[in-house]
Structure 1
Amino acid sequence: MSAFVLLGAEVLAVTVLVLGLYFPRHRRRDLMVAYFGVNIGVLAVADALRTTGAGAGLGLGFALFGVLSIIRLRSTELDQHEVAYFFSALALGLLGALDTASIWRNIALMGLILLVMAVVDNRRLFSRYEHQTVVLDSVVTNRDELIGLLEHLLDGKVHSARPLRVDLINDSTVVDVRYSRTSSRAVAPVSPAAYAARR
């Protein structure tokens, strides 16, 4: 009976993770499918390995976790927060299959994962801090001048500005910028007619 309780808790946890946290915040349907598939797949394999022997199943389960975490599904580029959701889905799958002395410990760890993801992926947390790759239509090699120009363009305080490419032929500079906004001014929506007039 305890195994079914743990299984139900795991399915509930991954549902909250994907449908309650990830999808409402990021709206990527393809990764929503991937998170469910990876979680249930890891849960099934880890449970099958566990039944082959307590020690062997546990060791192989952690080996599976390590292999899947290294692969990171290289067919598409993932943001770091999406990688974090993959780790969480993998961890929930393993916690749902590992045989421990108390199932409540596993359930508590599942709750801890959900709580951490709910807090650290909250858009209100450090919402002023942003990261962009900026392409300037001029060559800027002086660091102070570069930071001053970026702070004017982005209306914020630049914390890091790393030039990625300086093109002397096409007269451009590509910069990786991490900054915080100094104002929360609202941007009025632009109608299609006004956009056409600007061009």
Structure 2
Amino acid sequence: MQRNATYGFTSRVNHWVIAAVMIGMLGFGLYLAYGELPRDERGDLIAIHKSIGVLALGFGLWRVLWRVVRGFPAAVAGMPAWQERASKVAHWALLASVLLMPLSGVVASLFRGRPVEVFGWFTIPAQAEVTWLASLGSGIHQFAGYALVALVVIHIAAALKHHVYDRDPTLKRMLSSASLARGIGDNRQGSDGLKL
């Protein structure tokens, strides 16, 4: 596991792709839950939500495995130990939610006896109905959605605090190459092991 000064290109792409997908899916899910939609429209939109969710689960697995294998870059110089610990907890919670959200949604659907068709490309077959498992999946999906909204807000607020108040390179190293993250170390190799 590497502890380089900044995030490499692959890590940055992974971060922004999964961020866009998860934030978009949160908004989509809230619209499905609270928007007053006609029944037939709602069904079509739920099918799209499920399809994107399965793809998000696949990409999320890649994202989490990449982060586990590559590790996180070292904290910026001067960051208090408690902030470094809080950052680790928040990052692991975000990574867990990237898997938990789509997985719980798929479980809820399958164990209600409903197949999950993914854009007509392939279908995950329905399972025998298991009411408690479907309810558990549904409950986790709902709770994790609200938890993820809170985590995303905290994550963005913390990044802005580092950028505006602390004036450290925490945000810059996720936005661009190591050359923008001056002052966090002499290593100009991203945590992907790719020269930037």
**Larger Cα-atom Rg:** 1
